[in-house]
Amino acid sequence: MWSKKLIFNLFILSSTLGITIKSSGGFARRSLFEESYNDIYKSYFEYSENFDSCQANFIDADTYNPLENSELISVQMIMRHGDRVPVYLIKNDGNTWDFCKLSKYNSILRPITSAMINSTADDISKGSKVVVPSNELCKSGDLSEKGGLASLDLGKATRSVYVDKLGFLDRNLKNTDQIKIRTSSSA
C-alpha cells in the first residue's frame, strides 16, 4: 500500500514539475510548455488550411439579393486586418515565423498610391506608390500570407457583388471621387 502511494505521488510530482524519468537512476527536467508549444506549432501547418481563426463568411454574389423597392446609394465597408503574427514573441523564436512574404501578390495587385490626407477633399492621386513588403521572416504583428490572402479574397467577393452583379461601381475605377478609403497602420 505504501509503495502504491509513493508511485502515485511521484506521478503527480512528475506531471506537475515536468520531470521525465531518464533512466532508473535519474531524472531529466523538460519544459511542458515547450512540448505543448511544439505540438501546437506542428499542428498549425498540418491544419492551416482548415483553421479560419474566427473568420466570418464573405458576401456571396450567387446568394446576394438586393432589397426590393430600394436603391443602393452608398456602401460602407469596415474590415479588420487578417491573420497576423503574434505581437509578443517567445525569446529566440524569430525563425519560427517564416510566412510573411506578401510580395508574391504584387503581380495581381493594381498599382496604388498612398498619401497622408487631412480631409476627404484632398486629392489622393498624388501619393507615392505602395510597395508590398517581401520579408521572408515575420516581425512582431506583421500580416501573414494567410492574412493577405484573406484580404484579397474579401476584396474579390465584395467586387463580385458591388461591381459585377449590381454595377454600383465602374469595372475600371477611373473617377477617384467614386471611392474613399481610410486606413490606419496600427493593428
Sketch the domain layout of the chain as residue ranges.
Answer: 1-30, 33-178
pLDDT of residue 63: 93
pLDDT of residue 58: 85
pLDDT of residue 54: 66
**Residue 145 neighbours by CB under 8 Å, 6+ apart:** 99, 100, 101, 102, 104
CA distance 156 to 58: 10
Asked whether the beta carbons of 168 and 66 are under 8 A apart, the reply is no
pLDDT of residue 139: 77
pLDDT of residue 178: 78
Cell numbers at residue 39, please?
505540438
| Ranges of the chain whose pLDDT falls below 70 | 1-54, 93-96, 105-136, 183-187
Model confidence pTM above 0.75: no
